[in-house]
Structure 1
Amino acid sequence: MALTNSRTAARLARQAVRTTRGQPVAPSYRPASSSFSTSATRPSQLEDRPRWSYTPEKMKAPFSPHITKDPSRSVWKVNDNPQKLDEVLNNILGRDGERMLPDELKWLAVTHKSFDQGRRGFNDRLAFLGRQICVFECTQSIITSPPSGQEHEDLFADRRKPFEDETLRGVDNLTDRQPSDMLSPQKLAQFALDTGLTTVVRWKPRMPENIKGSGFDPIMSGAVYALIGAIALQQGGKIASRVVRERILKRLRT
C-alpha cells in the first residue's frame, strides 16, 4: 500500500515537471535581488535614521509567507515619539529620568518580541536581569520589615528548643509573604498603567479584540523588569536597586 502511494506520488511529480518545463516563472514570485544583496553600501537616508526606528533592509523577505485571514487584526499602532517615551521615563524614574539611559537602550527596554517579529531587538534579556534585582530587593524588604506578629505552632516543641536570634526574626516573615505576592504580573501591569508605561511599550497583541487574553499582564510586567535591567546595565546594580526600592516597591505597597 505504501509502495503504491510512493510510486503514484513520484509519477505525479514527473508529470508536473514535464508540464512546467520551459514555462517562465511568474514575476510576482521572483525574489528581489536587492533584498539578498551582500553589498555593504547603504543609501544615505538610512544612515540618518536611529536603529530603533526602522527594520533592517536585509531582514525583510521579498514576500510574506503568512496568509492573513482578517487584515484588520494585523493593524496595531505603537508609539514612535521619543518625547512621549521620555515623559513616561520621567514619571517612573523621577526628574531627568530619561537621561539615565541612551536612546537605543530606552527603546530596547520597551520593545516586546511580538513587535515587528523581533527584528528590531526585544527586551527578554533585560527583563531577566531586572527581575532578579526586583526579587532580591523585595525579599530584603520583607526580611527587614517588622515581624507580622502571627504565631506559628511548633510541632516539635517537646523535642527541641529552636535557636532564636534577633537578627533572624525577620526570616519568619517569608512564611506569610513572598516576593511573588508583591511582584505579581497583575500588580506590575497596574503599575505600568498608572505610570503610563503601557502607552509606550511596543508590542503586537495576538488578538487585538482581547488585550488581556493576548498576554497584557506578563508583557507589561516584563517591560517594568526590562527597564530595571537596562538601568543596571547602564548605571550599575546599586542605582537599579535604589530605583526598585524608591520608585517601584513604594508604589506597590500603597
Structure 2
Amino acid sequence: MQSIINKPVTIMAYEHTARGLQLRNLSKISQTRLYTINHHNTHRANTHQRLTITQQQHYHHHQQQQQRSIVFVRGQRVQGLIRDPSEVLSSDGVKYGAESDNLAPLKNYLSSLNLSTKIELPDELLLQIITHKSFAHGSKPYNAHISFLGEQILQLCATKHVVGKSKNLDAIGSLAHRIMWSDKLLAAFAESKNIDKVFFCKKALPGGNIDKLYKPKSIYSTITSSLIGAIASKYGKNAAEEFIEKELIPAYKN
C-alpha cells in the first residue's frame, strides 16, 4: 500500500512559489506531496476569500463610523457640524420671513415715489427682492432672475440717456455709460434710500469673521436692480423706465 501511494505520477500543474504562480513539472513528486500542494493552494484560496470578506466588513464599519450623528450645534460655529436651522434662516440677527419689520424699508420707500403709476408690490415679491441667492444655500426664493431683468432695462435706459444727451453713438460703451449700472452706483443708491437695512445674504469674509457693517457692493447692488425688475414684471417696462429716469438717473448726476 505504501508503494502505491509513493508511486510517481506524470502531471504538470501550477504551484504557488516565492516567485509567484509558476507551472512546474510534478511528474517526480509523489501523490502524497501533490496532495500537500493542492491542500496548500486550497487553503490559500480560502484564506484570501476570508480576507476579502473581512476587508469588506471593515470598509462598511468605517463608512458607518463616518456618518454624522449630530444634526446641528447651537452657539459658536464648530467646523464640521451642521448649523442650527434657526441660524441658517437668519442674517445679521434678523429672522427670515415676510414680517412687517423686514418689509418696512421697501414699503416706505415705494410709498414715497411720485410716479404716474402707484407702485405696490406683494409681500412675497418684496421678500424676494431682499433675498440673495447666497442666503440659506439658495433654498428660499432669491432675486437673481428679477435682478437680471432689472439690469437689462437699466442698460437700455442708460443707453438712451447718453445717446440723447450727447447725440453721439460713440458715447455707448463709455465710462459714463457703463457706470450707470455699476455695482458701486446701485449699492450706493440702495443705501441712500435705506432699502438695504434688511437684506438676507451670506457674507464671506477671510477667517469666517462676520461684520454687520460690511456690505459687498456686488451683492447689495442686486437690491436696486431686482427692484427695477420687480416693477417691470408687475407694471411693465414703461413703469420701470420711469422709475429709472426719475429716481436712479438723478442720483447718478448727484
For each residue in 1:131-158, what CA deviation from the matched residue of structure 2 results, as whole angstroms up to 9, or x when unmatched?
A: 000010011100001x3xxxxxxxxxxx
Q: Which has the higher contact order (CA 8 A, sep 6+)?
A: 1
1:228 corresponding residue in structure 2: 228
Alignment of 1:21-40 (within 5 A): 29=69
Displacement of 1:192 in angstroms is 1.5
Do the aligned partners of residues 139 and 10 (structure 1) sit closer, same or farther apart at CA in structure 2, a change above 3 Å counting? farther
177, 180, 183: which is aligned to 1:182? 180
| Count of residue pairs the alignment pairs up | 188
Do the aligned partners of residues 18 and 118 (structure 1) sit closer, same or farther apart at CA in structure 2, a change above 3 Å counting? closer
Alpha-carbon distance in 1 for matches of 2:111, 2:235: 13
1:137 corresponding residue in structure 2: 157
Give the superposed CA RMSD: 4.1
Do the aligned partners of residues 20 and 108 (structure 1) sit closer, same or farther apart at CA in structure 2, a change above 3 Å counting? closer
Q: Which has the larger radius of gyration?
A: 2
Alpha-carbon distance in 2 for matches of 1:192, 1:176: 24
1:115 corresponding residue in structure 2: 135
Alpha-carbon distance in 1 for matches of 2:161, 2:186: 17
Alpha-carbon distance in 2 for matches of 1:19, 1:209: 34
Gaps of 5+ in 1: 1-7, 30-61, 148-168
Alpha-carbon distance in 2 for matches of 1:228, 1:115: 21
1:94 corresponding residue in structure 2: 112
Amino acid at match of 1:189: A
> Structure 1 or 2: larger strand share?
2
Alpha-carbon distance in 1 for matches of 2:61, 2:221: 57
Gaps of 5+ in 2: 1-50
Contact 1:142 1:177 in 2 (8 A): no
Displacement of 1:110 in angstroms is 1.1
Amino acid at match of 1:127: S
1:14 corresponding residue in structure 2: 57
- Percent identity for Structure 1 against Structure 2: 22
Alignment of 1:61-76 (within 5 A): 63=71, 68-69=78-79, 76=92
Alpha-carbon distance in 1 for matches of 2:62, 2:103: 58
Q: Is 2:175 aligned against 1:193?
A: no
Displacement of 1:118 in angstroms is 1.8
Secondary structure of the corresponding residue to residue 199 of structure 1: coil
2:241 corresponding residue in structure 1: 241
1:252 corresponding residue in structure 2: 252
For each residue in 1:157-182, what CA deviation from the matched residue of structure 2 results, as whole angstroms up to 9, or x when unmatched?
A: xxxxxxxxxxxx42133364453222
Do the aligned partners of residues 12 and 174 (structure 1) sit closer, same or farther apart at CA in structure 2, a change above 3 Å counting? same
Secondary structure of the corresponding residue to residue 245 of structure 1: helix
Q: Is 2:146 aligned against 1:126?
A: yes
Do the aligned partners of residues 119 and 142 (structure 1) sit closer, same or farther apart at CA in structure 2, a change above 3 Å counting? same
* TM-score normalised by length of structure 2: 0.60
Contact 1:129 1:226 in 2 (8 A): yes
1:105 corresponding residue in structure 2: 125
74, 78, 81: which is aligned to 2:94? 78
Displacement of 1:114 in angstroms is 1.7
For each residue in 1:104-146, what CA deviation from the matched residue of structure 2 results, as whole angstroms up to 9, or x when unmatched?
A: 111111100122222221111011101000010011100001x
Do the aligned partners of residues 63 and 132 (structure 1) sit closer, same or farther apart at CA in structure 2, a change above 3 Å counting? same
2:28 corresponding residue in structure 1: none
* TM-score normalised by length of structure 1: 0.60
1:152 corresponding residue in structure 2: none
Do the aligned partners of residues 133 and 200 (structure 1) sit closer, same or farther apart at CA in structure 2, a change above 3 Å counting? same
Secondary structure of the corresponding residue to residue 122 of structure 1: coil
Alpha-carbon distance in 2 for matches of 1:223, 1:20: 44
